Chain A
Amino acid sequence: MKAFAALYSRLDATTSSNAKLAAMRDYFREAPAEDAAWAVYFLAGGRPRQLVPNRLLRETAMQVAQLPEWLFEESYQAVGDLAETISLVVPEAEHRSEQGLAVWMQDRLLPLRGLPPQELGARLPRLWAQLDRRSLMVCIKLITGAFRVGVSKLLVTRALATLAEIDPKRVAQRLVGYTDLSHRPSAEGYRALIAAESDAEHAQRGGQPYPFFLAHPLQSPIERFDELLGPPSDWHIEWKWDGIRAQLVKRDGQIWIWSRGEELVSDRFPELCALAGCLPDGTVLDGEIVVWKAAEAPPAPLLQSEPQGEQEPAAGFGVQPFALLQQRIGRKNLTGKVLAAAPVAVLAYDLLEWQGEDWRQRPHQQRRSRLEAILRQCNHPALMASPLVEGEDWQTLARLRERSRALGVEGMMLKARASRYGVGRTKDVGVWWKWKIDPFAVDAVLIYAQRGHGRRASLYTDFTFAVWNGEPGDPERALVPFAKAYSGLTDEEMRQVDAIVRKTTVEKFGPVRSVTPTLVFELGFEGIAVSSRHKSGLAVRFPRMLRWRHDKPVEEADTLQTLKALLVSHERSL
């Protein structure tokens, strides 16, 4: 525990990636594999569910520190972090525990979950008394599941790769699913992460998916497409679906479904697990899960992906708004009624593994045609190929793309026919572009709220939104307000947001409340310009909420950089 706490301090004390890499390498070099396994889990973003309720932690701390509640609260307000506050107010102890992170997690902390309050009240002080301040703070963060230290998964990957002297991409692949809740870190698992590479390693990996290949936004004006991209015939062009990116892994007679966040979501989609019957073992598909309500079978072109030329796409695919999918995911119990109200389908667009063989290094063209053959064979209404869109030139495609909103899609995806399937946002083996319809949409964080007027009177419905002024992982970055918006929510959403605003209020300045940033909305706007009147240096026109991004953590909201990029592209197109 002490070594891990020391690592935490080193990582926390610096903003330099190199210093962080060095700290991690030093730690992993020394740490026993069982401890390293847990360290990777936490550093790569693993969050076990909260083991002890915050209220109980507070009460125990007040008792141990002999502080009245109001004084504990004052202290917490000054520190702004529960784990740190507790570590500062309880009597400082000598670090007496010789046990490592793994023993602490498995034998001491995880067993706390679900214990009766009285038992917790007795156990916690005994645990705390064995740790020095620094270790205690880290320990409490492990208990609350709020452990964060400003290293990206990518950085952890690099640290492990240099240590093991293997390709970071290989480590990235092995790390997929490592932080999933169902996964229990182990010495064996850690050794597998850093083991020497073997050719057949993917074959023995059960439900293990591949790292997702991610697209880059295409923001250049259409006039430059020929120069930048060459002719459309070099590309496979698809609609950009507004659903959940997922991998379907079929091995050993079973289907595993992984979301882009590398979460195992199979149990959320029982009807897709039924596809196990029609996909052969050793098949991994990449695609989008959407709610799909076709009156009958999907229109013919969708199944066959025949060239559509300048033909207008069949009006209204069966794809339903994302919100419907979101509601379904939020449900604890997937009753027959829920399944019937929001039936899902997969629009598959890539084939990563076929007959147990890794196909990612084959050209997209080859993967795509095999994929279509597989889907024809499978012939299941819940598994379709994402149709290809064709056009003679980029202008034609741009006109087609104008229909995106009507079709319920977000724009187009451009995938080079010759491209390999990369890892993350790599560009070295070919590129995927996302050519979204509304360039003026960003994911912003709600930071202030004010009561609305008229129909919205007395509800907190007028919001100030902010974006980050630094990239993810930058511990110094802050939220910078850039727009106010009040429209775009349904009445039901309004009530929900109002309740959250009241619950998360930090401070009141007259009628305005500042809130703990927890809510992310996709904010749309018509124009963007430089402004000296706004803190962000930017002003946007007609901002409104396009949708509530329940799926987006605050850390993943957009940055000032994104806004500035929009500014540049906007100016160029004017």
Chain B
Amino acid sequence: MDLVVARPEGLYCPPGDFYIDPWRPVERAVITHAHGDHARWGMRHYLATRDGEGILRARIGSDMPLQTLAYGEALEHQGVRLSLHPAGHVLGSAQIRLEHRGEVWVASGDYKVEPDGTCAPFEPVRCHTFISESTFGLPIYRWPAQSQVFREINDWWRANATVGRPSVLFCYAFGKAQRILHGLDQNIGSVVVHGAVEPLNRVYRDAGVQLPPTLYAGDLARNDPRLKQAIVIAPPAAGGSSWMRRFGNYADAFASGWMLLRGTRRRRGVDRGFVLSDHADWPGLLWAIGATGAERVMVTHGSVATLVRYLREERGLDAQAFETEYGEEDDVTVQEAE
């Protein structure tokens, strides 16, 4: 019996009668993580990780009907044993393990296999059927080492600071921003953040994640001398807005896995593109899928057809596609969302 099926409301677990990351209001929702395309408003009951509680409440509502589990803690519901395991994507992100009559399924939501110090690192969970995303499901996507990317970011910031130019780095406000903050070299200059980033920083700090002290852009006067050596972390939506004017002659950059491609980099129209993703790259996807030992793989959002065909033809797995509405995160276009 399939423990998860695709329904118009979302991914559904028939024996347990609940949904995973549903995109329409339902009775019971288990949430993998708090990005807008996975955690939506309007469910009667939510279940998520304890690490993710702060952000979920900040985004959906402080009085939301939320029950939490620690990573690895199990819960029995209508004969389904459910537990949450780190997905390494953002703070509180989880893979959902379902066990029913000896059959094990894992729904991984979004995941990244390289540990980054801002959230619990991905843990492969053995299962019969693995539900995998495929955001970067093409062999062209192979991430440079994280340490190298941070070296590049810090070098870029340092070079700008030397000539007195603010460095504006655009990235997704939840997850990516904190990961970048975590990797910055604080000796270069002040760290300034956009209003959309600061509330999330607070949640990360409360969860014990080390972030450098940040200044809120709104508190700084236009001619504040600290701006000249500052790095500014802002969501992509701030680009081109009047908010940017305060930084004068700034250098800008964008951090995303899509920046690996020259075409996307150029369409973005920024000075620099840093290749930094909170999703698995192609080798990461294949490694994670292999590590679960699953013989059946259900592929969701991204390069679905490609990954399905590859797993079937080259790996001999029973791979199939799941139609979902994931992949559209809050303030970025689909192409560049992560």
Contact = CB atoms under 8 A, between A and B. Distances in A.
Contacts of B261: 78-79, 84
A15 interface: yes
Nearest to B306: A74
A545 to B, nearest CB: 31
A92 to B, nearest CB: 7
Contacts of A74: 138, 303, 306
B263 interface: yes
Contacts of B263: 79-81
Given A68-B314, A70-B309, A79-B261, A13 B271 contact: yes
A123 to B, nearest CB: 23
Contacts of B31: none
A491 interface: no
B139 A71 contact: yes
A475 B309 contact: no
A274 B264 CA distance: 54
Nearest to B269: A476
A71 B313 CA distance: 11
A74 B308 CA distance: 13
Nearest to A19: B271
Which of A14, A81, A88, A89 has the largest count of B CB atoms less than 10 A from its CB?
A88
Contacts of A13: 265, 271-272
A475 B140 contact: no
Which applies to chain A's interface (DSSP): helix, strand, loop or mixed? helix
Interface string B133-155: 00000111110000000000000
A75 B272 contact: no
A13 B267 CA distance: 11
A68 B262 contact: no
A476 B260 contact: no
B322 interface: no
Contacts of A68: 313-314
Interface in A40-81: 65, 67-68, 70-71, 74-75, 78-81
B160 to A, nearest CB: 13
Interface in B171-206: none
B77 interface: no
Contacts of A80: 263
A15 B271 CA distance: 8
Interface residues of B, number: 21
Contact of A79 (B140, B142, B313): B140
Contacts of A475: 266
B216 interface: no
A88 B263 CA distance: 13
B139 A12 contact: no
Given A14-B271, A71-B139, A79-B140, A88 B313 contact: no
A85 interface: yes
Nearest to B313: A68
Contacts of B139: 65, 67, 71, 75, 88-89
B279 to A, nearest CB: 15
Interface in A84-125: 84-85, 88-89, 92
A71 B306 contact: yes
B262 A78 contact: no
B41 interface: no
A74 B310 CA distance: 11
Contacts, number: 47
Which of A15, A74, A89 has the largest count of B CB atoms less than 10 A from its CB?
A74
A160 B51 CA distance: 58
A274 to B, nearest CB: 50
Given A68-B313, A68-B314, A70-B309, A75 B138 contact: yes
Nearest to A72: B139
Nearest to A65: B139
Which of A67, A68, A78, A85 has the largest count of B CB atoms less than 10 A from its CB?
A78
Given A71-B306, A88-B142, A81 B269 contact: no
B262 A81 contact: yes
Nearest to A87: B140
B309 A78 contact: no
Contact of A15 (B142, B269, B306): B269
A81 B263 CA distance: 9
Contacts of A476: 266-267, 269
Contacts of A67: 139
Contact of B140 (A14, A70, A88): A88
Nearest to B139: A89
Contacts of A71: 138-139, 306, 309-310
A551 B274 CA distance: 40
Contact of A89 (B140, B262, B265): B140
A89 B309 CA distance: 18
A12 B263 CA distance: 10
Which of B139, B142, B269, B272 has the largest count of A CB atoms less than 10 A from its CB?
B139
Contacts of A84: 261-262
A65 B142 CA distance: 12
Interface in A354-404: none
A476 B262 CA distance: 12
Contacts of B141: 88
Contacts of B138: 71, 74-75, 78
Nearest to B314: A68
A314 B291 CA distance: 86
Nearest to A14: B271
Contacts of A78: 138, 140, 261
Nearest to A150: B266
A85 B140 CA distance: 7
A12 B262 contact: yes
B267 to A, nearest CB: 8
Nearest to B267: A476
B207 to A, nearest CB: 34
A67 B313 CA distance: 12
Interface of A: 12-15, 65, 67-68, 70-71, 74-75, 78-81, 84-85, 88-89, 92, 475-476
Interface pairs A-B: 3 shortest CB-CB: A88-B140, A75-B140, A89-B139
9 contacts: A12-B266, A13-B272, A68-B314, A71-B139, A78-B138, A78-B261, A79-B140, A84-B262, A476-B266
Interface of B: 138-142, 260-263, 265-267, 269, 271-272, 303, 306, 309-310, 313-314
Given A71-B138, A84-B262, 13 more contacts: A13-B272, A68-B314, A71-B309, A74-B303, A78-B138, A79-B263, A81-B262, A84-B261, A85-B140, A88-B260, A475-B266, A476-B267, A476-B269
